[in-house]
Structure 1
Amino acid sequence: HVVTSLAWSPTGRHFAIGSYNVLKLCDRTGWSYCRESPDAGSIFSISWAGDGTQFACGCGGGTVLFVSLVDRTFSWQNTDVTLDENNSITVHDILNETKEELDFRDRVTDMSLAYGSLVVTTSNQCFVYQQSNWNTPHVEDLKDPPTLIVQCPFHFALVDANGVQVISYEGRPLSTIKFSGLRSEYLNHQTLSICRDAVALVDPSQPKQIRVFDVFTGRSMGQPIQHKLDVVRISLNQQGSGADRKIAILDKNKDLYLTKAMHGDKTEKLGAMVDTFMWNDSTDMLIALIDEKLIIYIYPSVVFVDKDLLNKTLQTKTCTDAGKYAQIVAFYGSNCLIRKADGADLAMVTTPYPLVLYQAYEKGQWEQAVRLCRYVKSPELWASLAAMAINSRALDTVEIALAAIEEVDKVQFVAHINKLPDEVLRSAELALFCKRPEEALNVLLQNKRIYRAIKMNIRLHRWNDALELATKHQTHVDTVLAYRQQHLQQMKHVETNEQFKQWAQQLEVDWETVKQKIAVEKDEELRNANGDS
């Protein structure tokens, strides 16, 4: 029979389909939860209640059907919770083989289970249960019935008509997030994300814009992040804080990007044709389903450190069983759970070694991390260790890791950085290594290392910038001219730059004088470094 009606739930998680004597409830990805056959003729109209727990159907024979969603089930690791038709929740701990019954006076509108906490909402109250104690929940009164619950390991967010409320697991309100133009009814699990110190959401009125707010004050953190295309999904990482906070962005072109929450201009592409992705619950690993392959980004922040290493930090597992339209629903430890298009769950296990590497990295145990990589002999692990060590400025470890993956040019550059006499020069060269030349030059200029800034511009072949810097500070103009002439001779080119022509006429270049001036600069750097130490 033809489909005569269709309506989405206000939560965006389900939709109902009506046909002749047929009523189906489907997941948003298309698979069917259940099928009923009411003897009521064709169903011409479906209207959902605002909380998404009930809907009414208008039928061709004049019958009106009232339908309630029952037996809703949520799972997290070894715990399952099920809401039955009597408004009672059964909590089943599979590992310990225990069951708990939770009864509610009012109708349960929504619930969420994650990170050892169960959040249950009714029309006017919110109950927060801990896995360690199911008997005494924290209870919070609500002004409006919430339409969405989003959890993180530290607190959770409720979305209602007033905005986004952030509440601790002790039931204490932390902040309320609202701004002009916020249409909270359009927020869902794909477009709202929460972590220890930030809340990020896709602006419903401008889907290319991501807004980031402080969890504890509700204030906006910096300018909104502008993306090139409409954003389909965002997710904040759960590890680290402040400047380390990152947002993974999936746009309508199925491209996956990583950006810093506090610096939206630093956005790097991780992959293309991405169907679904998820952060790990205890580390900064990211997993994505790309073209029937499960791709594990061991250290996604490598794109901000050295993008050349990105492909070397990826682990790939063939996942043809997942099929099209599969969704990653959980990624904890080294376990990944994928929900296929037909609703079946597929469990995948990834290698446990990255978790051990993260434990050593977070404690700064570089020797232990090197021993692990030598034992496992995995190029992906070595590349990830190299990126982690660069980020933490553990240059000895960087040399070992880069040598293991035969990145000879990078090893030589890091060895050169290690030989520099002081921290300012090392910071500048490390920024240059990470392909951030402007930052490197700023470090040198802020610390009045004019010669080094001029020399860096020369190395980058920014001849005009080098000459401008030398003339501005009235030093090392002859050094710039000498290196320029040497470069032109090696390339067998003729000088065409008018500025350099003029200076060449005014100033005679003597290599011996230039070398003496450079030696004086280096001696002074050495004295300063010894004085600092």
Structure 2
Amino acid sequence: MIGRKNIMVRDVSNEVMEKLEFPDRVIKVELGYNHMVVVTPSQCHIYTTKNWNTPVIFDLREGSVCMLHLTLRHFLLVEKSSLSLYSYEGRLLCSPRWQGMQPETLNPAYVSISPDTIAVRDQNDDKLVYLFELSTGRSLVDLPPLKHTSGIAEVALNQAGSPSERQLVVVDKNRDIYLTNVRSSMRLRKLGSMIQSLCWNSEVNMLAAVQDTHLIVWNYPTALFVDKKIMKKTVLLKDTSEFGKSPIVVSFEGNQLGIRRVDGSLVNSYISPYPSVLHGYAASAQWDDALRLCRFVQLSILCTCMFVTYWSHNQCIDPAEEAYAAIDEMDKVTYLQYIKTIPVQAVQMAEMAMFGGNIYDAETILLQNGLVFRAILTNVQLHKWNRALELAVKHKTHVDTVLFLRKNYLDRFEKTETNEKFLRFKDEVKLDAEKITAKMEVELLKERDKK
């Protein structure tokens, strides 16, 4: 800025300088993603770095712009009573709205934009996050607003992948970070704590953050939905002492991170390029190349990422078994070998879902395939007694089996029944051990016939 109505632009690659003049005073200006957006009280000017002479110009609705936020493909204009998302050609894409919206109080930490989704934290209830489809501006109607137990301080959507892979991280006021898939169950799972700043990779689904005294990179954050323990083996930690006090992650491109020091200077930090290369192979389904890369590099963190990546796309047992063996998780190798011996495909799929911690999905698979007894037995094995009894009552089968197994469980620990749901059936259902055992054997034989 060289004046209220003038901006001087210098191209550092060739030292060419351009002086830009505007009819009104400049109130907002942002430069990024090969574009510069300039806002005056009445108009918005969009420049491309390839041409400073003929900007795209359009008139503002209200003329009181509170916030200007640029992304790779779009930019957001926040005015006193509206949010508007525009393309860099000046075309209005959508204007999302929600009940009780107060756009003038928004700041960049409360808004995140991906190629297909917008996330906005509510200003009246700081525990709510609204999600909108970018193409229509309508809320994701099949899902309610995301609700957290604590106040939310920051939201961030990943930028890579398809809409079904869209991930949202929220940082609450305790500086704990949570991850969810915006087009699934919307269940928040804790990823870490003491987060000072964060940034998604612009090309692949990798997440970087400053955590206490470390720079942490989650090479495959969605491993959290597969195996919490194995997720820790996909994480890279670097000491932040070289960046000084309170560094901020401002960019994450490929294997290069941009770190802003407290004095305002920008420094670069580099990580291994192999995880991002692996993501690229996975995106194009080049699994043979991905496997060759892992065998060539022989890094445990890469083998772990390979397993999680392949598992997320295919859920095949053999690659999972090989990856777990490479990182010395022999208990999981043994369990996977057990799953391979299961003759019924639906039961095998359910076991794999449970192996990844998705108990609800496992139960759904069993019920959809008519394996009600197996669904009940699975809940019993997981000590989800109330759910097992609920399924038995709902499907009018094996109520006595659940009561019998519950009684044996309590007798083994010399405990008495205190659960009111089970006490209600105590006098109503007669327990015959021989008949129940025979009935269970019949169910298992019928299950084998379905293979």
Alignment correspondent of 1:158: 77
Q: CA separation in 2, counterparts of 1:505 and 1:476?
A: 11
Q: Provide Cα deviations, 1:350-377, integer angstroms capped at 9, x if missing partner.
A: 1111110100111122222222122222
Alignment correspondent of 1:127: 45
Match of 2:175 among 242, 250, 254: 254
Alignment correspondent of 1:310: 231
Alignment correspondent of 1:176: 95
Moved more, 259-268 or 360-369: 259-268
Q: Provide Cα deviations, 1:32-54, integer angstroms capped at 9, x if missing partner.
A: xxxxxxxxxxxxxxxxxxxxxxx
Q: CA separation in 1, counterparts of 2:45 and 2:10?
A: 14
Alignment correspondent of 1:401: 323
Match of 2:265 among 339, 344, 347: 344
Q: CA separation in 1, counterparts of 2:190 and 2:415?
A: 40
CA separation of 1:372/1:160 partners in 2, compared to 1, >3 Å: closer, same or farther? same
Match of 1:454 among 376, 381, 396: 376
Q: CA separation in 2, counterparts of 1:244 and 1:510?
A: 45
Alignment correspondent of 1:200: 119
Secondary structure, counterpart of 2:138 in structure 1: coil
> In the alignment, is residue 234 of structure 1 matched against residue 160 of structure 2?
no
Matches within 5 A, 1:261-272: 261-262=182-183, 265-272=186-193
Matches within 5 A, 1:275-286: 275-286=196-207
- Counterpart of 1:294, as a letter, is L
- Counterpart of 1:453, as a letter, is A
Q: CA separation in 2, counterparts of 1:415 and 1:333?
A: 37
Secondary structure, counterpart of 1:347 in structure 2: strand
1:305 is displaced (CA, Å) by 2.0
CA separation of 1:339/1:510 partners in 2, compared to 1, >3 Å: closer, same or farther? closer
Moved more, 311-320 or 109-118: 109-118
> In the alignment, is residue 149 of structure 1 matched against residue 68 of structure 2?
yes
CA separation of 1:256/1:477 partners in 2, compared to 1, >3 Å: closer, same or farther? closer
Identical amino acids, percent of aligned pairs: 34
Matches within 5 A, 1:45-60: none
Q: CA separation in 2, counterparts of 1:519 and 1:197?
A: 48
1:467 is displaced (CA, Å) by 5.4
Matches within 5 A, 1:363-512: 363-395=284-316, 396-421=318-343, 424-463=346-385, 465-466=387-388, 469-470=391-392, 473=395, 475=397, 491=412, 499=425, 505-506=431-432, 508-509=434-435
Q: CA separation in 2, counterparts of 1:359 and 1:522?
A: 41
**Structure 2 gaps, min length 5:** none
Which of the pair has more CA radius of gyration?
1
1:412 is displaced (CA, Å) by 2.9
Q: CA separation in 2, counterparts of 1:192 and 1:311?
A: 28
Secondary structure, counterpart of 2:28 in structure 1: strand
Instruction: Judge conservation of contact 1:309–1:383 (CA < 8 Å) in 2.
Output: yes
**Structure 1 gaps, min length 5:** 1-69, 72-83, 527-533
Normalised to the residue count of structure 1, the TM-score between the two structures is 0.75
Q: CA separation in 1, counterparts of 2:415 and 2:104?
A: 67
Alignment correspondent of 1:3: none
Instruction: Judge conservation of contact 2:373–2:443 (CA < 8 Å) in 1.
Output: no
Alignment correspondent of 2:209: 288
Instruction: Judge conservation of contact 2:65–2:79 (CA < 8 Å) in 1.
Output: yes
CA separation of 1:86/1:478 partners in 2, compared to 1, >3 Å: closer, same or farther? closer
CA separation of 1:199/1:467 partners in 2, compared to 1, >3 Å: closer, same or farther? closer
Secondary structure, counterpart of 2:187 in structure 1: strand
Q: CA separation in 2, counterparts of 1:473 and 1:480?
A: 13
Moved more, 268-277 or 255-264: 255-264
Q: CA separation in 1, counterparts of 2:415 and 2:99?
A: 61
- Counterpart of 1:125, as a letter, is Q
Matches within 5 A, 1:513-528: 514-523=440-449, 525-526=450-451
Q: CA separation in 1, counterparts of 2:415 and 2:54?
A: 84
Normalised to the residue count of structure 2, the TM-score between the two structures is 0.87
- Counterpart of 1:105, as a letter, is F
CA separation of 1:132/1:409 partners in 2, compared to 1, >3 Å: closer, same or farther? farther
Q: CA separation in 2, counterparts of 1:161 and 1:510?
A: 69
Larger strand percent: 1
Matches within 5 A, 1:75-154: 87-94=6-13, 97=14, 99=16, 101=18, 103-106=20-23, 107-143=25-61, 144-154=63-73
- Counterpart of 1:519, as a letter, is L
1:141 is displaced (CA, Å) by 2.0
Q: Provide Cα deviations, 1:448-470, integer angstroms capped at 9, x if missing partner.
A: 21232133123223456445545
Instruction: Judge conservation of contact 1:451–1:521 (CA < 8 Å) in 2.
Output: no
Q: CA separation in 2, counterparts of 1:229 and 1:480?
A: 38
Q: CA separation in 1, counterparts of 2:168 and 2:17?
A: 37
- Counterpart of 1:312, as a letter, is K
Secondary structure, counterpart of 1:166 in structure 2: strand
Give the aligned length.
441
CA separation of 1:462/1:373 partners in 2, compared to 1, >3 Å: closer, same or farther? same
Q: Provide Cα deviations, 1:194-251, integer angstroms capped at 9, x if missing partner.
A: 1111111222222222222222222222322222222222111112343422221122
CA RMSD in angstroms, aligned pairs only: 2.9
Secondary structure, counterpart of 1:402 in structure 2: helix
Secondary structure, counterpart of 1:170 in structure 2: coil
Instruction: Judge conservation of contact 1:116–1:131 (CA < 8 Å) in 2.
Output: yes
Secondary structure, counterpart of 2:188 in structure 1: strand
1:129 is displaced (CA, Å) by 2.9
1:262 is displaced (CA, Å) by 4.0
Secondary structure, counterpart of 1:385 in structure 2: helix
- Counterpart of 1:341, as a letter, is V
Secondary structure, counterpart of 1:140 in structure 2: strand
Q: CA separation in 2, counterparts of 1:488 and 1:253?
A: 40
- Counterpart of 1:448, as a letter, is G
- Counterpart of 1:103, as a letter, is L
CA separation of 1:425/1:512 partners in 2, compared to 1, >3 Å: closer, same or farther? closer
Q: Provide Cα deviations, 1:144-164, integer angstroms capped at 9, x if missing partner.
A: 142322122221111112311
- Counterpart of 1:162, as a letter, is S
- Counterpart of 2:330, as a letter, is V
